[in-house]
A and B are shown apart, each in its own frame.
Chain A
Amino acid sequence: MANTTGDLEPTHYPARRAATVALHYLNTRHGSPHMVFGLQQVHKASAEDVAAGGRNYSLDFSVTASPGGSPGPALRCSADVLFPRTEQHTPPDVQLRCEALQEINSTAEDEAFYQKYIAPDSAVSAQDLPDSYGNMSEEMQPFWRLGRVAASFIMLRESSENTELNMVQVANVTQQESSEKQLMLDYVVLLHDLPSQEITQWKLLASWSPDRGVRVLHTEWQPRCPHATKPPN
């Protein structure tokens, strides 16, 4: 594994992996049914070992906001991503600043979505978002995006310098009874790790409302049928 300190090549994977972690953090904080961020590119990056035993990455990068799914403008961000070096895995620590974050919003669509599904008799359930062919109904897209945001909590937590995680599918989403004015959603999501090429499956329970954003209340690693690789970390 390449162990570089000092200035990093922005197109190489060490910088990109750190930026991906910052992206997951951004999505946990600002993602919504109609807003998920993607990494556009890394402009500058550097890394240095820290006294406590870990490595800190300083990043200058751009993300694209995808309000309602159509590609939106790029936002400039800077972040410090600290990967601790501990016996047992410890999640990375992220400090993040993005310009003009307040200006992009999907409030109207999010609110409409909320009103529709907070209704007492709402019981949405779907599988394979998207399906094998990349298809997904328009109605299910906000649930898929919420899945990506919720998965970001897991991806953030599980990340290290040796991982690069993306959610590749919502295997299942089932709406639970709303609680404290939060939409409650049971998800099974599939994550893909680029370096190992492994696909891992996670069950999670997420809540969302326009006010409180996404919270993840419970996560559980699941073996994929038929054979099980060992649980991570």
Chain B
Amino acid sequence: MKENYRRVHSQNMRVYLAVFALLAAVHCKELFNGGQVLRIHAESEDHIQILKELQRDVDSGLDFWTHAVSTERPVDIRVPHARLYALKNFLKENNIPFTVMINNVQELLEREREEMLGNAEMERKTKSLNFAAYHDLETIYNFMDTLVADHSNLISKVNIGSTYENRPMYVLKFSTGGEKKPAIWIDAGIHAREWISHATAVWLADRIATDFKENRAPVPSILSQMDIYLMIVANPDGYVFTHRSLSEFYRFWRKSRSATSNPKCHGVDLNRNWDAEFSGPGASDDPCAEDYRGPSAQSEIEVKNIANFIMDHGNFKSFMSLHAYMQLLMYPYGYVGTDAPDRTELHDVATQANKALNSWHGTVYKVGSIFHTIEQASGASVDWAYLRGIKYAFAFELRDTGEYGFLLPADQIVSTARETWYALRYIMQYVCDHPY
């Protein structure tokens, strides 16, 4: 049964492709009125020779969609109306069987064209998000709702708590069911000004959904064994602040928006506020500093919400965080320079993931621990996850390496997202294959 479906499906595909090619070539409607596509079933070498001769005759007006090669494969020919009678006679005289595949090419073209226009219209209505652009929080939150609605069998939206300014914090849960399956965590936007991370996460959400829907490996098999949690905006207050005006003071905001002990300075660096060697070197205790760690570990509600969610779940096997910029793929530790116990394995995984990333566009990333590749950092989320037993913990610094920095042109979003996906996909497959 399946076999038949596949054959018919590929037959339809070929017809569709051929019709599409026709559509591209069509300038004058009348050319195709009354024309037919015949499927020839050659039964002998003689038949093949006859068809080959016919194909060689450039004045025949016949459009061979497939070539005469062997008796195993049918030969499809688009025949203009004017030649139909003559060709059918010719085939009959030579005892070459044929069937009429497409009765009226023009009709088919019109139907296909209408369908394509209809699809575009539908896409415009539902999938109206332009992935090659940066969007504000409201648009991203709307996108999440649309995605959930379009893939309700796979995706749900989880509210894990509110921000300092009382905005909801949402995580998209990709799950094929089951009770607390081992899970993968991916977050973006913990630093507000790193817009490419949110934009990448938006694209990733759609890509995972689409790959699942279209049964594209390895997503369905990963999701059969694990759940994926994707947090597109880990710092909503900060992100909204970066949109408040074009002024650089807003656009380059990094931290949260909480009040601090200094009335002139707001916000905590959410990636220095985790309970992982909190208050060690590699963070500041000055509320006005960009890497201000906050008054205490998890003092920031945003960090507390994520940490609690992950601990309550209790079955996360991987934790990955997207940042920008510098083109780095890193693993723990950030707080100290000594090797993490799993350093060798993590370095290997990161190295392979990096190769996958590079294969898309040739973008060069460097691999190493956070401490050694970027700088010492205490209270970092990736360290926290690793110290809590989530072995496969990685941090990405996405494009670029300083040319545009935080202001990466929007025309690089999709390419950045795709190469990041290649790396993430590798890591997720690896995590799936190495349960612990």
Using a CB–CB cutoff of 8 Å, the interface residues on chain A facing chain B are 1-2, 9, 11-13, 20, 36, 38-41, 66, 128, 130-136, 166-169, 171, 190, 192, 194-199, 201, 224-227, 229
Contact = CB atoms under 8 A, between A and B. Distances in A.
A133 B134 contact: yes
B83 to A, nearest CB: 50
Given A41-B364, A227-B264, A168 B405 contact: yes
Interface residues of B, number: 41
A225 B372 contact: no
Q: Secondary structure at chain A's binding surface: helix, strand, loop or mixed?
A: loop
13 contacts: A2-B371, A13-B373, A38-B402, A131-B407, A134-B410, A166-B402, A167-B402, A171-B248, A197-B269, A197-B290, A199-B248, A224-B248, A224-B249
B96 interface: no
Contacts of B326: 194
B373 A134 contact: no
B407 A168 contact: yes
Contact of A169 (B242, B337, B372, B407): B407
Contacts of B403: 36, 38, 66
B404 interface: yes
Interface centre among B133, B269, B371, B403 (most CB of A within 10 A): B403
Interface of B: 133-134, 242-243, 246, 248-249, 251-252, 254, 264-265, 269, 284, 288-291, 326, 337, 364, 366-368, 371-376, 401-410, 412
Listed from nearest, the 5 A-B pairs whose CB atoms lie closest are A134-B409, A166-B402, A197-B290, A168-B405, A11-B366
B288 A12 contact: no
Nearest to A135: B409
A13 B375 contact: yes
Nearest to B251: A132
Nearest to B263: A227
Given A39-B401, A132-B407, A195-B375, 5 more contacts: A39-B402, A168-B405, A190-B252, A196-B284, A225-B249
A199 B134 CA distance: 22
Contacts of A41: 364, 366
Given A9-B372, A11-B373, A197-B291, A192 B405 contact: yes
A167 B412 CA distance: 19
A194 B134 contact: no
Contact of B337 (A2, A132, A194): A2
B406 A130 contact: no
Contact of B246 (A1, A2, A11, A131): A131
